[in-house]
Amino acid sequence: MSRVAATILGIVVAIGLSAIVFIGINKLFDLAEKRFAIFNAAIGGAASLVIFGLLWGNRLIVSPLLVTLIAAVVGVAVGLGLGLVRHRWARLGIGLAGGLTLGLLAGSALRSVVWPSIEPLAALLGLAAGAAVAAISWQVARRETALVPLLSFWLATGWLFGGWLAADFDGSKAEVLLASAIFGLLAGIWVGTVPYPSGETRGGIAAGSRKYIFLAPALLFITATLVVPLARTIWLGFLSGTPRNLAWTGLTNYRDIFTDPGILDLSEWTLIFSSRLFWAAVILAVIAIGLGVWLGRSGGSGLGTGFSLNAGTAMLIGSAVVLFGFAVFSFIRGTIPNNLWWIFAVTIFSMATGLAIAVLADRAKGENVAKSLIFLPMAISFVGASIIWRFMYVARPPQNDQTGVINTLWVQIGVWSQSETASATISAILGLIVVGLGYLAWRGWQAGNNAVLSGSVVLAIPLVWIMYRFLGPGIGGVAPSPVTGEPIADPILFLTQSPWNNWWMMVVFIWIQTGFAMIIFSAAIKSVPEDLLEAARIDGATESQTFWRITVPQIGPTIGVVATTLIVTVLKVFDIPKVMTNGNFDTQVLANEMWQRAFTELNFGLGSALAVVIFLGVLPIIFLNIRRMQRERLG
C-alpha cells in the first residue's frame, strides 16, 4: 500500500509542478510588453540555470551548487542590462562581458573528462558549417532578419560541435578555457547584437509566446535526444580509431562498409540465373500470365487489358516474385543483402497474410476471437518471441530424441513416409482433398467463376506434389545412417544452415507483424462504402472482381501506410538476430553489425557510419510517407 501511495503522491507532485511551471512561464511572458527589463532578467537567469543545471545533472562540473548560483546571478545581470540599455554598442559590450564571464566560469568548473583537445581542422569545419547554415537561413528569410545575430548564433553552434564535441576529451586546462571562452564570446555577440525591441515587438512577444510555450518542452527533448546525437553520430562516421584516439579519415568507414565481403558480397551473383528457385519463378510467372490472359479473354473479367487478376493468378504472381527474391538473396550475401532480404520477405508475407486474414474474417462468425488470437503475438516482445521460436527450432543430434516442436514433427513425418501403411493412408486423405478441389474447380468452370477455378487448381498443385513424395522418394526428417544404413533422424538445422537460417528468423517477425497488418487492413476494409460494393454486385461483378477493383483501390492508402511502417521497422531489426544467432552463421544485419563494431570492438567510427547507413535507408521511406500524407490532405 505504501508503494501505491508513493506512486500516487509522485504523480500528484509531478502534475502540480508542471502546472506551476506552465502558469509561471505564461505569467512571465505577460511581463514582456510593459516590464521588459524584469522579463529579460528572468529569461537570462532561467537560461543560465538550465545550461548549468544540465552540466550539474550530468556531473560535469565541480562545486555545482555554487557555480550554478553564480551563473544564475550573471544571467540575471546580463538580462537586466540588455532589458534597460538601448544603445547598440553598450548592448554589445554587455553581451560580450556576460558571455565571456559565463564561458570562463564553465571552463574553470568543468571536470577533466570533458576537456577538449581542440583540432584546428574540425574547429574550422564547424565554424564554416555554421556560417553556411547562417547564410542559407538568411537567404531563406529573404534577408529580412538581422545578419549579425543569426551569424553569431550559428557560429557558436558550429564551434560547439567542431571545436568541442568532435574533439577527443583529453585536452588541457588551457584548451577547455579557450574553447569555453570562444563559445561564450560568440554567444555574447548573439545576445548583444539583437536590437532592443520596440513596443509593438514586445507586445508580439507576449502574444506569440503561447505556441512556443507549448512546443518548447517537446522541441527541447527532441533536440537533446535526437538532433544532437544524430549530428555527433554523423561526425563520428568520418573518424576512425579507438575512443581515446579518434582521427579524421573522411569516407574511409563508408568505403570499408561497401568493400567488406562480410557486409556486401556480390561474388556469386551469376549463380542466380542457374538456380532452381530462379527457374521456378520464371515458370510460375509464365503460368500466371498465361492463365490470367486466358481467364481474362474467356471470362471477360480482365482489368482492361485482357488479364484476369483473381485469387489464383495473384497467388501465382506472388509466388513467382517471392521465389525470384529468394533466388537473388540466397546468392548475394552479406549484412546489407540480409537487411534487404528481411525487408522484402517480411513486408510481403506480413501484408499478404494480414490482408488475407482480414478479408476472410470480415463479418464471419467468431471474427473477434480469431483476430484476437492472431493479434496476440504483438503483445510479446521481440526478445520473448525469439526465445520461444529458438526452442521450437532446436535441432538435437540424430541419435537423440528431438525436443524442438518443428523438428519433432518433421522427423515423425519422415517416419510415416517410410511406412507403407502410413504413406498410403496420408496419400489417400490428400487424394480426397485433391478430388474435392477438382470438383470445386469443375463447378467453377460450369458457373463461369474463373476465380474458383484457378484458385482450386493452384491449391491442388502442392498437395499433388506431397502425395508424390509420400508414395515415391519420401518426405520428412529421416535419412539412412552412414554406418548401418538404417533410417535415423535427419533434423533441419534451422539456425545454423546458411542462407536459409535468415528465412527462419524472418518467420518470427512475420508471426508478430501479421496481427498488426491484419488489424489495420480490417479497419480499412470495414470503412469501404457498402454502396460501392452493392452496386458492383448488382452489375454482376464476382466477389473476386469486387475485391480487386473496388476494395483494393479503396484501401490503397492504408496499404501504403502498412508497407512503410513495416519497412522502417524491419530496417532497424536488432532483437531477433541478436537473441537467436548473434549475427553468426551469415545472419548479420545492420543494427547488430553496428552494435558489435561500436560497443564490442569499440570502433565508434565504423559503428557510427553503419548507423548513418540505417538512417539514410529509413529517410526516403519517411519522406515518401510524409509526401503521401500531404497529398491526401491537400487532395
| Residue among 513, 521, 531 at smallest CA distance from 555 | 521
Residues 231 and 108 in one domain: yes
pLDDT at position 451 is 63
**Considering the chain, what is the average pLDDT of its residues?**
85
Q: Tell me the average pLDDT across 36-44.
A: 87
Same domain, 95 and 232: yes
Q: Quick: pLDDT tens for 111-135.
A: 888 888 888 888 898 899 989 988 8
Instruction: Report angle CA 608, 568, 572 to the nearest 5 degrees.
Output: 40
Classify residue 247: in a domain, yes or no. Answer: no
* pLDDT of residue 288 exceeding 80: yes
Mean pLDDT over 485-503 rounds to 86
Judge if 446 and 518 occupy the same domain: yes
Whether residue 223 sits in one domain with residue 336: no
48: nearest Cα among 71, 64, 70? 71
Backbone angles phi, psi at 12, to 5 degrees: -65, -45
333 pairs with which residues across the strands? 265
The most confident of 233-242, 432-441, 507-516, 620-629, by mean pLDDT:
507-516
Q: Is the pLDDT of residue 513 over 90?
A: yes
What confidence tier does 337 reach under pLDDT thresholds 50, 70, 90?
very high
CA–CA distances in Å: residue 522 to residues 222, 270, 283, 358, 562: 34, 42, 33, 5, 12
pTM exceeding the 0.75 threshold for the entire prediction: no
Whether residues 480 and 576 share a domain: the answer is: yes
Q: 247 — phi, psi (to 5°)?
A: -135, 150
Query: What average pLDDT does this structure show over 214-234?
Result: 81
Same domain assignment for residues 197 and 280: no
pLDDT digits (tens, 9 = 90+) for 380-420: 999 999 999 999 999 888 888 888 899 999 988 888 888 88
User: Do residues 316 and 194 both lie within one domain?
Assistant: no
Query: Do residues 90 and 232 share a domain?
Result: yes
- For 369, phi then psi, to 5°, come to -65, -45
Lowest mean pLDDT among 68-72, 416-420, 500-504: 416-420
pLDDT tens-digit profile of 577-607? Answer: 999 999 889 999 999 999 998 888 888 888 9
- What are the residues whose beta carbons fall under 8 Å from the beta carbon of 250, sequence distance 6 or more? 238
pLDDT class of 4 with cuts at 50, 70, 90: confident
Query: Beta-carbon neighbour count of residue 469 at 10 Å?
Result: 16
Q: What average pLDDT does this structure show over 503-524?
A: 93
* Residues of the chain above pLDDT 90, percent: 25
State whether 443 and 564 are in the same domain: yes
Domains of the chain: total: 2
Domain membership of residue 113 (yes or no) is yes
The better pLDDT of the pair 620, 167 is held by 620
- Evaluate whether residue 303 is within a structural domain: yes
| Confidence band for 304, pLDDT divided at 50, 70 and 90 | very low
| pLDDT above 50 (res 302) | no
The string of pLDDT tens digits covering residues 411-456 is 888 888 888 888 889 889 999 999 998 888 888 787 766 667 767 8
CATH for 356: 1.10.3720.10
Which ranges of 141-275 does DSSP label H, i.e. alpha helix?
Answer: 147-159, 173-192, 199-222, 228-236, 252-259
Q: Which of 69, 17, 31, 30 is nearest to 48 (CA)?
A: 69
pLDDT of residue 15: 83
Residue 300, pLDDT > 70, answer no
Q: Give yes or no for residue 169 having a pLDDT over 80.
A: no
In a domain, 114, yes or no: yes
In a domain, 351, yes or no: yes
458 and 562 fall within a common domain: yes
The whole-number pLDDT of residue 239 equals: 83
Cell triple for 199: 513596443
Neighbouring C-alpha atoms within 13 Å toward the C-beta of 386: 16
* Together in a domain, 280 and 418: yes
> Among residues 236, 258, 292, which one ends one of the domains?
236
Distance CA 277, CA 296 (A): 28
Give the three-class secondary structure for 110: strand
Q: Is residue 14 part of a domain?
A: no
Of the candidates 183, 211, 236, which is a domain's last residue? 236
Residue where a domain terminates, one of 214, 236, 258: 236
Q: Are 39 and 29 in contact (CB under 8 A)?
A: yes
Q: Is residue 261 part of a domain?
A: no
The answer to whether residue 251 sits within a structural domain is no
**Residue 635 CA: distances (Å) to CA of 12, 551, 556, 562, 629:** 45, 20, 15, 21, 10
Name the band, by pLDDT with cuts 50, 70 and 90, for residue 303. very low
Within this chain, do residues 525 and 425 fall inside the same structural domain, yes or no?
yes
> For residue 163, what are the domain limits?
31-236
**pLDDT for res 25:** 76
